[in-house]
Amino acid sequence: MLSTARLWCRPILRTCVPKYIRTNTTSKSSLPPETGSLGRDSLLSSYTFPSMSKSVSWLPDVKYAQSGANRYETHVTTLDNGLKVASEKLFGDFCTVGVIISAGPRFEGGYMNGISHFLEKLAFMSTTNYANRDLIQDSLQSVNAICDCQNSKDIIIYALSCRTSGLERVVDILSETIFQPKLLSEELEEAQAAVFGEIDNLYKRYDPTPILTDMIHSVRAGYGNQTLGLPKFTPLENISKIDSKLIYSYMNDYYRPERMVLAGVGVDHDYLVELGKKHFLNKTPVWKTMKDIAQQKIIAPSKAIWTGGKCLIESDLSNLTFAPSYLEEHDFVTTCVLSQLLGGGGSFSAGGPGKGLYSRMYMNVLNRNELMRTAVSYNQAYEDSGCFYMHFGCDPPFLKKMIDVALREIGLLIAHMPDADELDRAKAQLQSMLFMNLEQRPIVFEDVARQVLAVGKRQQADYYFNRIKRITADDIVRVSRRIFSTPLAVAGYGKGVNSSDMRSYNYIADTIQRQFSPKTRWRIFG
């Protein structure tokens, strides 16, 4: 084929090239006279360019930003019914406002698991003053607003973003969807379909992180059958059993003003307080008018108790997560730095193969073990507890070796100080991520709402910036040793996790505990 192509090319070149030369042959007499300069210089030779080293006289002087010049403080006001109103000013014509509620799966101990999941799907449906969801959507569109509702283990968030001119309308819709939902039968059916579809999609996804996160908290692993161990996603057997009466009863107990924060970013605080009084202070919840809903009970505090354990489910690919616990607030920042130092991700995660190249999970795990698909660490904090995760994924035949690689990394954390360069890099990356995330208004809103709900005030970003800066190598080792001295939780999801290829829970836990003493430490750890 190649020789044929050459035979065809030669005659073409013989005929075409001379033709090209002939058509471009021009006598010297037809050329313009030569000049001393060519190109744009010849066209602009009469124009005098301004100096690049001097200020332009007709522009005002530059005013450079100064540290603290535009600092926005978080203001908090508590209304007569116990509702906290928190706000922070921000530049721009748009704002984010919402309500965060101390509710969620961890408070479903006396109820059927999955109510919080249903509440997420039933948000911004029909209410007393809005006959159907279409009316709410039309009202939101008139002020360029978007809405969302999300739940995690210990909170439920209702949030909207809109033009600042439409603030009163979205606050009214917030109060309606929280205190006046109708929960019609057709809406419940729609919520059932949405819940079932989401759960079905979870088990079809390539990335099993949401499943593993729920497993690591579950009854057989982290927290037992209480508080944070209760499932975030509705158990399949409960989907058809959850009805409006059960949901109203749950809302009656936990949708109280003293368990809520009305938060806004990019709004005037006094105006938000005024709207809070108008729409939240005297509004009677719809469940208070129902005779078949039990009277509001006194909710006992629910303390999260870490137990440790294992939860293994057979599936296609092998994924394993280790999760010890941590409690103290002052170790939270150290744990975040530790998580950043380990870093990691997927073999083909977003950003390309070079992303996070200097983190330990990339250098020690993914770069040296070609069959490893995932190696990443992250942490999760709650009001009274927290989890530190190390998530590994591989092809099933590599399962046993993957566990040994994971144990090696844990042993290095416990036994060796991080060097100065990797620690400084991890702290700088965490500081950068902190400020980069806070450039987004919805994230600022959630940060304000969560901190005010938890402690009644908000610490600014520079507080955490300085806390990160003060972390030392001794802090990393101390927190690592304290974290891995707690009972271990192991969650496995994939093929072979219940076979002989899987290291036993006792083997994994004992191997980690041996790393605390140089006499019993594996030789592979140095």
- pLDDT single digits (tens) 424-467: 999 999 999 999 999 999 999 999 999 999 999 999 999 999 99
Residue 197, class by beta-carbon neighbours within 10 Å (0-12 exposed, 13-18 middle, 19+ buried)? Answer: exposed
pLDDT for position 6: 38
pTM confidence score = 0.81
From 172-181, 268-277, 480-489, the region with the lowest mean pLDDT: 480-489
| Side-by-side strand order, sheet with 386-394 | 309-313, 489-493, 318-322, 386-394, 372-381, 344-346
CA quadruple 382, 388, 394, 400: dihedral sign: negative
pLDDT above 90 (res 92): no
From 236-245, 264-273, 484-493, the region with the lowest mean pLDDT: 484-493
pLDDT above 50 (res 37): no
Q: How confident is the model at residue 59 (pLDDT cuts 50, 70, 90)?
A: confident
CA quadruple 245, 247, 253, 257: dihedral sign: negative
- Smallest CA-to-CA distance from 332 within 491, 459, 515 is with 459
Distances (CA, A) of 10 to 17, 22, 117, 214, 339: 11, 19, 72, 69, 64
Domain residue ranges of the chain, discontinuous segments joined by +: 74-289, 309-516
| Side-by-side strand order, sheet with 156-163 | 74-78, 84-88, 260-265, 94-101, 156-163, 146-151
For 518, half-sphere exposure in the C-beta direction (CA atoms, 13 angstrom radius) is: 2
CA quadruple 217, 219, 223, 226: dihedral sign: positive
User: Exposed e or buried b for every residue in 134-160, given b needs 16+ CB within 10 A?
Assistant: eebeebbeebebebebebebbbbbbbb
Q: What is the mean pLDDT of residues 303-316?
A: 84
Q: What is the mean pLDDT of residues 73-90?
A: 94
For residues 151 and 122, give the distance between their C-alpha atoms in angstroms, rounded to a whole number: 12
Q: What is the mean pLDDT of residues 314-342?
A: 79
Q: What is the mean pLDDT of residues 344-366?
A: 72
Q: How confident is the model at residue 56 (pLDDT cuts 50, 70, 90)?
A: confident
Q: How confident is the model at residue 68 (pLDDT cuts 50, 70, 90)?
A: low
| The pair of three-digit structure tokens given for residue 74, joined into one six-digit string | 């978080």
Please give the CATH architecture assigned to the domain spanning 74-289. 2-Layer Sandwich (3.30)
Which one is predicted more confidently, 47 or 44? 47
Residues 6+ apart with CB under 8 A from 397: 371, 501
Considering the four listed CATH numbers 3.30.200.20, 3.30.830.10, 3.40.50.720, 3.30.70.260, the one that applies to the domain covering 309-516 is: 3.30.830.10
For residues 160 and 266, give the distance between their C-alpha atoms in angstroms, rounded to a whole number: 12
For residues 512 and 526, give the distance between their C-alpha atoms in angstroms, rounded to a whole number: 15
Helices (H) and strands (E) in the chain, counts: 17, 12
Residue 347, class by beta-carbon neighbours within 10 Å (0-12 exposed, 13-18 middle, 19+ buried)? Answer: middle
Cα distance from N-terminal residue to C-terminal residue, the chain: 59
Q: What is the mean pLDDT of residues 297-304?
A: 67
Q: What is the pLDDT of residues 374-416, one digit of tens each?
A: 899 989 888 888 889 999 998 888 899 999 999 999 999 998 8
- Strand 94-101 with 260-265, pairing: antiparallel
pLDDT for position 12: 41
For residues 450 and 69, give the distance between their C-alpha atoms in angstroms, rounded to a whole number: 26
Residues β-bridged to residue 392: 320, 375
Q: How confident is the model at residue 20 (pLDDT cuts 50, 70, 90)?
A: very low
Helix locations, 85-126, DSSP H: 115-121
Query: Cα–chain-centroid distance for residue 331?
Result: 20
Percentage of the chain exceeding pLDDT 70: 82
What is the overall mean pLDDT for the chain? 84
CB 259 within 8 A of CB 101: yes
pLDDT for position 118: 97
pLDDT for position 369: 86
pLDDT for position 440: 92
| The pair of three-digit structure tokens given for residue 383, joined into one six-digit string | 């009001």
- Strand 94-101 with 309-313, pairing: unpaired
pLDDT for position 321: 80
Q: What is the mean pLDDT of residues 180-195?
A: 96
Which one is predicted more confidently, 405 or 58? 405
Q: How confident is the model at residue 219 (pLDDT cuts 50, 70, 90)?
A: low
From 59-63, 366-370, 408-412, the region with the lowest mean pLDDT: 59-63
For residues 244 and 182, give the distance between their C-alpha atoms in angstroms, rounded to a whole number: 9
